[in-house]
Amino acid sequence: MATLLHLDSAVFPQGSTSREVTAAFVTAWREQHPDGQVVYRDLAADPLPHLDATAVAAGAEDALRGQLAAELAAADAVLIGAPMYNFSIPSTLKAWLDQVIIVGHNAGPDSPVAGTPVTVVASRGGSYAPGTPREDFEFVQNYLEKVLTGMLGAEVDFIVPELTLAHSKPEMAELIPLADASRTQAFTEATEKAKALAARLAA
């Protein structure tokens, strides 16, 4: 029985594209792998404390850090909702990363997380794709790929629904068709990736 660790970090519980896409992923996962387990953390509704000197010194011996690290190590796959806020990830997700990554315990060449598939739903209100005017402002995918692969050795894959503000910003009205296409593609990718991953872990 495979375990999926699901993290959401969008501030708003309703109307969040990242939450809607991660929910579609989980639905497809459960349909494909009904005996699997889903461990869920809503980092916005139940935020973790920022890392402090005491927790750093204690490392995995700190109760919270040890619990989070064990939860991550026990996961066969990880799903992260990571909307872009001010060109980067939500502070609540950064707090989780700071707490869960413990040098000498799970960060490094012998990480127990090495090879774990991590799917990140990196939604954003505009577009920061290569070739766009704001390409240099993209610090969500760049950061998460480096920290998750470089420190934990995880296998990272991204789903990127973009232009999510097109329907609410009059100045973006001409981008609505592109926004709708990106949203549709994100849901398709979430369903396909979840089914493929569930089948792979169940094999």
84 is in an annotated binding site: yes
SS (H, E, C) the chain: CCEEEEEECCCCCCCCHHHHHHHHHHHHHHHHCCCCEEEEEECCCCCCCCCCHHHHHHHHHCHHHHHHHHHHHHCCEEEEECCCECCECCHHHHHHHHHHCCECCCECCCCCCCCCEEEEECCCCCCCCCCCCCHHHCCCHHHHHHHHHHCCCCEEEEECCCCCCCCCCHHHHHHHHHHHHHHHHHHHHHHHHHHHHHHHHHC
86 is in an annotated binding site: yes
124 is in an annotated binding site: yes
139 is in an annotated binding site: no
87 is in an annotated binding site: yes
15 is in an annotated binding site: no
Rounded CA-CA distance 116/106 in Å is: 12
168 is in an annotated binding site: no
Residues placed in the known binding site for FMN = 16-18, 84-87, 123-126
Binding-site residue numbers are 16-18, 84-87, 123-126
